[in-house]
Amino acid sequence: MRFKKFDPIPVYLLMGFVEGAGFACFATMAAVYRITEAGLNPLELILVGTALEAAVFLFEIPTGVVADVFSRRLSLIIGFALIGAGIMLEGAFPLFGTILLAQAVWGVGYTFTSGARQAWLADELGDDGGVGDVFLRGSQFTRMGGLLGIGLSVALASAFIALSLIVGGAIILCLAVVLVFVMPERGFTPTPRSERQTWNSLKTTLSSGITAVRMHHVLMAVIVIELFYGASSEPFDRLWGKHMLDSFAFPAIWNLNFVVWFGIIEVIVLVFGIGATALLRRAVDVDLAGVPLRILTGANGLTMGAALVFALSGNFALSVSMVLLTALVRSATGPVVDAWLNQMVESRYKATVFSLHSQSNAFGQVVLGPVMGGIAILTSVRAALIGVAVLLVPPQGIYAWLGLRRSEGDSEKQK
């Protein structure tokens, strides 16, 4: 029995919504599960994250190349299946070794989706399909799914904490099954079977993708910027909660404890994130040349300032505001980066370049993230958070340099 394939935009939005719901169902209670059910100590908690990022770093390029040579649709289906299976495995067995394995499986699955998703949509819509706008809409749908997932996670965890992880993984696994029947692939032509030389073909595509980055100064700059983003986001994400707990007495409004406060913060980030992305879509056209650079320059400056204020502030409300600002800026600008890369990369190299971009982030997290953790141990959490702001200074300088080069180029064209 043959099933009718849907149009690409509804399928892309479906992916975002369902993945957002499944991931939020898992992530809302993941930390609680690892501490209370699996009994992981702080070092083991860090190693869990390292296993995930190491898998992403090692497999990002190979899986991106597979998406370029064979099928982006197939790559996405495999990726979601592995992500769902990895999350379910973690929830089923509260053991450190099993959780490490589950994170590695999840990380490999993520690499199958990270490069292929954007490249698949760009190919299906073509050059004039408003890809950047769809990226922003997809981000909104992901957050709406996340709201549903948070509520589902709390309801399931009140009965059995591990159930929220198992169901979250099952949702993403079901997404993979649904995509088998509804996902089209009309804009991409894989290398003909007669021309495939397996590893030789993969090597050629990979080499060409790296060459494209090396020969394009803007692409190279974006990859370097992402390295610093990864290095700064890892310590902030791991340490902001500890800083809040160590430095502040949470307000006892309506007898809310700190666990509920953390949940409230997560919901606020999701709700305001939807609004921020909608505002960005209406205010600017990210598919226009030069627009993504201006947005990202301002966003990096905001994130850098927010990290510094958060580290130095002694006020609870101001500190929470800085956490929210950081999360909102990150979530709203993610699709802008995708649109910027899409403007600069040829179709045949898109999945590989998107993968190089993600791999750079993972490299920053794996290699430089623990260095910031060492600073927190040797000095203080506050010092490490100040270091987060310092790590965002080089990207700001690179953005300024790119803006200057663009201005000089525009001046030359007008002569």
Is residue 188 assigned to a domain?
Answer: no
Dist CA 292 CA 325 (whole Å): 19
Is residue 239 assigned to a domain?
Answer: yes
Dist CA 377 CA 237 (whole Å): 16
* Residue matched to tokens 């002569």: 415
Is residue 298 assigned to a domain?
Answer: yes
Helices 217-247 and 258-283 cross at an angle (nearest 10°) of 150
Q: Are 112 and 82 in contact (CB under 8 A)?
A: yes
Dist CA 384 CA 316 (whole Å): 19
Note the Cα 226 to chain centre separation in Å: 11
Cα end-to-end span (Å), the chain: 62
Return the pLDDT at 196: 44
Is residue 204 assigned to a domain?
Answer: yes
Give the DSSP per-residue string, 43-84. HHHHHHHHHHHHHHHHHHHHHHHHHHHT-HHHHHHHHHHHHH
Number of domains present in the structure of the chain = 1
Alpha helices by DSSP H, listed for 158-216, are: 161-182, 199-215
Q: Tell me which amino acid residue 155 is.
A: A
Domain harbouring 290, CATH code: 1.20.1250.20
Dist CA 398 CA 218 (whole Å): 10
Is residue 187 assigned to a domain?
Answer: no
Dist CA 137 CA 198 (whole Å): 36
| 3-state class (DSSP) for residue 159 | coil
pLDDT digit string (tens) for the chain, length 415 residues: 455 678 889 999 999 999 999 999 998 888 778 877 887 776 677 777 788 888 887 887 777 777 778 888 999 999 999 999 999 999 999 999 999 999 999 999 998 987 788 888 888 887 666 788 888 888 889 988 998 998 888 788 878 889 989 999 999 999 999 999 999 988 887 655 554 444 565 566 567 667 766 767 778 888 899 999 998 987 888 778 778 877 888 787 877 766 667 777 778 877 777 677 777 777 777 778 788 888 999 999 999 999 999 999 989 999 999 999 998 888 788 888 888 887 777 776 676 777 778 778 888 888 887 788 778 778 888 998 999 999 999 999 999 998 888 775 655 555 5
What range defines the domain where residue 19 resides?
8-182+197-407
Is residue 87 assigned to a domain?
Answer: yes
Query: Long-range contacts made by residues 396-399, C-beta under 8 angstroms, separation at least 24?
Result: 396/297, 396/300, 396/301, 396/304, 398/221, 398/224, 398/225, 399/225, 399/293, 399/296, 399/297, 399/300
For 269-303, b where at least 16 C-beta lie within 10 A, e where not — what string? bbebbbebbeebbeebebbeeebbbebbbebbbbb
Q: Are 340 and 285 in contact (CB under 8 A)?
A: no
Residues 6+ apart with CB under 8 A from 33: 90, 91, 94, 161, 162, 164, 165
Shortest CA distance to 84 belongs to which of 176, 12, 157, 150?
176
